[in-house]
Amino acid sequence: MNEKRREIWIKADVGTWAEKKSRITTGLESGVDGVLVVEADVAKVNELGHIKIATFASDSETELEIGEEDIVVYGAGSEGDGTKPIPSEMAESDVLNALKGTFGTKINAGYVEIRGKKYEQFAVNIADYCNYVIVIGKDWKIIPLENIIAELQHKEAKVIAGVQSAEEAMTAFETLEYGADGVLLDTDDISEIKRAIEMRDASEMGKKVLSIAKITKVEEREMGDRVCVDTCSLMTLGEGMLVGSQSFALFLVHSESEESPYVAARPFRVNAGPVYAYVLVGEKTRYLSELTSGDDILIVNAEGNARKAIVGRVKIEKRPLMLVEAEVEGGE
């Protein structure tokens, strides 16, 4: 499984500022990685919050004045979108020469609308001088994206595929074994922006295989140091953390998402276990006693679906302990 971080950018270069602002603010609130805007909107975006900003160069034939944008994009209004023909000799390409002029001194991107086979090849040809290659399918089929990913998977340039829905984003991420490095999401539907983020995050966490265990022994023990983990996320019924005495045999310890006769619900909390116990934090485990504020933690539900959360606070308190033993398919 490829564990690279997939990027989600929002396309916000067309329409009124109010329309573009709605996309950008939703993206900021949802945790997108970047936004593509026109040069005139860069300062406005910076006022909204911290986010990676990509902007089109006004003219690929002239040197772009270095401004507040993080990434300069070449190709729109030129060979990348069909405004100018792709030259027979790549040395004569305005887009390629502009990319060469900034590569290594400024993070840059090539922009190509896939209008046919020669545009696929154009995207591949400019990749050696790009940090990113943004490919937009005008009559989008999966085959052109497969071809581009196959050609570029051993190059440094990251492939950003244009999409219009969360489902298309996931298809781009799953194309071939490697997948696109990111997507440029073009939608006014704010729910699609949020869904794309949720689906991306869930896919990166993967699904944990859980088994039903039979409790074979419960014994009360004396006092010990128990770790209570408060997260920055709210958990629902069925969600908790995977905790145990052995890293290969973890229990799903439920959150305090349900009220009890003794205490109100605190759905951000898991009374996880004793200080020596392991807790799953991703693909590895840590001791509960090692967790501190700001650490990543893994929240898992009864179906094995996982998501990341951030540790807000860890409390270690003296509490009476219990020994619990369980058996799964004949083995303890």
In this prediction, residues 311-327 reach a mean pLDDT of: 94
Whether residue 106 has pLDDT greater than 70: yes
pLDDT tens string 46-86: 999 999 999 998 654 344 455 578 999 999 999 999 999 99
pLDDT attached to residue 14 = 94
Q: Quick one: fold of 214-327?
A: Endonuclease - Pi-scei; Chain A, domain 1 (2.170.16)
pLDDT attached to residue 142 = 59
pTM of the entire predicted model: 0.73
Whether residue 204 has pLDDT greater than 90: no
Please, which residues have CB within 8 angstroms of residue 153's CB and are 6 or more apart in sequence? 176, 178
Domain boundaries, the chain: 7-205, 214-327
Q: How far is CA 277 from each of CA 36, 121, 250, 251, rounded to the nearest angstrom? A: 45, 54, 9, 11
Pick from 39-53, 131-145, 156-170, 287-301: least confident: 131-145
In this prediction, residues 160-177 reach a mean pLDDT of: 89
In this prediction, residues 289-312 reach a mean pLDDT of: 93
Chain-wide mean pLDDT for the chain? 90
pLDDT attached to residue 60 = 42
The CATH H-level superfamily of 7-205 is: Aldolase class I (3.20.20.70)
- Tell me the pLDDT band of 329, cut-offs 50, 70 and 90: confident
Q: Which two tokens stand for residue 122?
A: 């154009």
Pick from 61-65, 124-128, 301-305, 319-323: least confident: 61-65
pLDDT tens string 248-264: 889 999 999 988 887 88
